[in-house]
Structure 1
Amino acid sequence: MLLCLPFAAFYSYADTKAEQKFVAITAIVEHPALDNVRKGVEDELKDNGYIDGENLKLQFASAQGSSANAAQIAKQFVANKPDAIVGIATPSSQALVATTKLIPIVFTAVTDPVAAKLTPSWDASKTNVTGVSDALSLDSQIEMMLKIKPDAKKIGYVYSPSEINSTIILKQLQIELEKRGMKIIAAPAQRTSDISTAARSLKGKVDMIYTTTDNNVVSSYEALAKIANESKIPLVASNPESAERGAIAALGMSYYDLGRQAGKIVIRILNGEKPGDIPPQVGNITQLTINKKAAERQGITLSEDVLKSAAKIVEK
């Protein structure tokens, strides 16, 4: 069965059967990190006996970067009455929470579910919502920055002001960097088409550019990396996929494993647990990915210590 709406691509993987469970998944946009989350959820379901087309119906929709689309998808999914809905990234999860108080919702790739008003606290919510956060230790992020460029004092931050995850991290970074005598210089980019301009505005002003899992930024990462290469500004990130797309280094969640972790929660719900009895979790697997070619392009010589600590080294 194929569902089509003008604003998003829907995929249905199986016809409904009486014995099937029904899981719907929606993401704010499709890019490597969020695609890996989705794959992790689906693989976890499969590996635990929920087989697409046999005892499981899967449905997916991308909001293609639009919050308005996310709201429409949420309404469509709720009308279809799945057993659980997975929201990948904050805007899609917020749209789901605003649409239903009954159908179980499992968020993932959300940095701060409390600030995003998905859950009232980090305790079991007693609502229909739980999930897995991708929050990272900023201390470890700053340590990584200084391993890449020990004399860095001014850190550029390209971000979308409309993404609550990004604005929260901006405020937290300001505080943590000030403790070390460092400074953050923010470069807002409301749309993906603004990413290059925002990055270019940092030339001559910063020692490094740092990016998070901001969906607009990640969706246009090659454009950002191009400016970093041209300007010889070291580019570092907080999600491993970005290192494969032009960042020198990325210390962050394994988004595939984050999806597997969310999938485990979905399974608990399919097996009868209430989402409100399951406290929100934080992703538990991080990894450092290094891109040696990006380091060369951006004028950085990587130390042996950094190279040895990498879980993965990219050479492209």
Structure 2
Amino acid sequence: MKNSTKKLPFLLLGMSLLLAACGGGETSTDQTEDKGSDAAQEGTTFKVGITQIVEHPSLDAATDGFKTALTDAGLEVEFVEENAQNDQSMNTTIAQNLVNEGVDLIFANSTPSAQAVKGATSDIPIIFTSVTDAVGAELIDSMEAPGGNVTGTVDLHPDTIANTVKFLKDELGAKKVGTVYNTGEQNSVAQVQQVKKLAEEAGLELVEAAVSTSAEVKQATESLVGQVDSLYIITDNTVVSALESVIEVANANELPLMVGELDSVKRGGLGAYGFEYYDIGYEAGQMAVKILKGEGTPSEIPAAYPANLKLLINKGAADTLGLEIKESWNAEVHE
């Protein structure tokens, strides 16, 4: 009994130290848990900023897809949504305003939007979509390992331009292809450089017309008439926002118009190898869900290419040109 009495203080001291250690471990875990985990458990509402460079159907569809992915995941979200209407000054202001709002995550829809928000914050997670060359735009280090606070989905499948150039030559008999684009959009410059390289390899000549605003699109397209036998409009936000002007000129001069996105086919372009912008917006939203739930960070989530590439042909445009839609094209037809 005497020996047990002597051991008691030491036992009590050991138990106290053990409890303190356990308590310290719990405190440390609480401090390192991110807001996503806490909010997912407690039903906290997230504040998510959305910045889009301009309104047009493809970008609008991507934003819809992004928002749907978050609501499908059961998250409570307050969206702070802004559109720059293709005004670069406003684009920069929106980026800073979203940072000042203290949002939990920013969705940047377009290359200029993503570049602006990256320049405004290195702390808030950023998910982009509708970006053509994320590495060239200096948004990420690589597709596989983005690094930093940015990741997302690009809007150019690796085979899109190659397939389109081949279609222009082999199926439309093109020799001189005209394109209109905004030289101030990095994603557009990257695409045109690729088109030019592939066109030259295929023995085609690319004739370029540059614009800086949507108001210049019709005149720039008209300047190509007489110089080219077909047109190819890439995923340039400035030009696509005024696509009806291009379609009007193309139809009036019986020029086949290949475009860079399926929504532009539905608006009157002849055809495109593309995908649904809603889908890449939705996939970007799924990335955002992981981040908000604390299941990953932008640096850990690889950026992604569009998954499903298909050829869509506008029947009305084909009929106007007297063009037969061949079975060998394996195309979907928009009536």
TM-score norm. by structure 1 comes to 0.88
SS in structure 2 opposite 1:282?
A: coil
The answer to whether the Cα contact below 8 Å between 1:125 and 1:279 also exists between their aligned partners in 2 is yes
The answer to whether the Cα contact below 8 Å between 2:178 and 2:206 also exists between their aligned partners in 1 is yes
TM-aligned CA deviation for residue 253 of structure 1? 2.4
Residues 136-147 of structure 1: pairs in structure 2 closer than 5 A: 136=157, 137=159, 138-146=161-169
The answer to whether the Cα contact below 8 Å between 2:64 and 2:278 also exists between their aligned partners in 1 is yes
Structure 2 match to 1:11: none
The answer to whether the Cα contact below 8 Å between 2:54 and 2:86 also exists between their aligned partners in 1 is yes
The answer to whether the Cα contact below 8 Å between 1:243 and 1:290 also exists between their aligned partners in 2 is yes
CA offset digits 1:162-213 (Å, max 9, x no partner): 1111111111111111111111111112211111111111112112100111
TM-aligned CA deviation for residue 148 of structure 1? 4.2
Q: Which amino acid aligns with 1:156?
A: G
Q: What do you get for the CA RMSD once the two structures are aligned?
A: 1.6
Q: Is it true that 1:279 corresponds to 2:302 in the alignment?
A: yes
Structure 2 match to 1:122: 143
SS in structure 2 opposite 1:281?
A: coil
Q: Which amino acid aligns with 1:28?
A: I
Q: Is it true that 1:314 corresponds to 2:334 in the alignment?
A: yes
Q: Is it true that 1:297 corresponds to 2:320 in the alignment?
A: yes
Aligned counterpart in structure 2 of residue 265 of structure 1, from 278, 287, 295: 287
Q: Is it true that 1:248 corresponds to 2:248 in the alignment?
A: no
Aligned counterpart in structure 1 of residue 92 of structure 2, from 52, 71, 87: 71
TM-aligned CA deviation for residue 305 of structure 1? 2.8
Q: Which amino acid aligns with 1:286?
A: L
CA offset digits 1:226-262 (Å, max 9, x no partner): 0000011100111000011110112112101011110
SS in structure 1 opposite 2:203?
A: coil
| Structure 1 pair 194–131 and aligned structure 2 pair: CA distance change class (3 A) | same
CA offset digits 1:51-90 (Å, max 9, x no partner): xxxx221121101111111110001100111111000000
Structure 2 match to 1:41: 66
CA offset digits 1:91-115 (Å, max 9, x no partner): 1110000000000001110000111
Matches of 2:235 and 2:178, distance apart in 1: 15
List runs of 5+ in structure 2 lacking aligned partners. Answer: 1-41
The answer to whether the Cα contact below 8 Å between 1:148 and 1:300 also exists between their aligned partners in 2 is no
Structure 2 match to 1:165: 187
Q: Give aligned-pair identity as a percent.
A: 35
TM-aligned CA deviation for residue 147 of structure 1? 5.2
The answer to whether the Cα contact below 8 Å between 1:257 and 1:285 also exists between their aligned partners in 2 is no
Stretch moving more, 140-149 or 18-27: 140-149
TM-score norm. by structure 2 comes to 0.83
Aligned counterpart in structure 2 of residue 85 of structure 1, from 106, 118, 126: 106
Q: Which amino acid aligns with 2:234?
A: T
Stretch moving more, 59-68 or 117-126: 117-126
Residues 161-240 of structure 1: pairs in structure 2 closer than 5 A: 161-240=183-262
SS in structure 1 opposite 2:59?
A: helix
| Structure 1 pair 147–48 and aligned structure 2 pair: CA distance change class (3 A) | farther
List runs of 5+ in structure 1 lacking aligned partners. Answer: 1-16
Paired residues, number: 291
The answer to whether the Cα contact below 8 Å between 1:61 and 1:73 also exists between their aligned partners in 2 is yes
Structure 1 match to 2:5: none
Larger CA Rg, structure 1 vs 2: 2
Structure 2 match to 1:27: 52
The answer to whether the Cα contact below 8 Å between 2:140 and 2:147 also exists between their aligned partners in 1 is no
The answer to whether the Cα contact below 8 Å between 1:144 and 1:251 also exists between their aligned partners in 2 is no
Structure 2 match to 1:100: 121
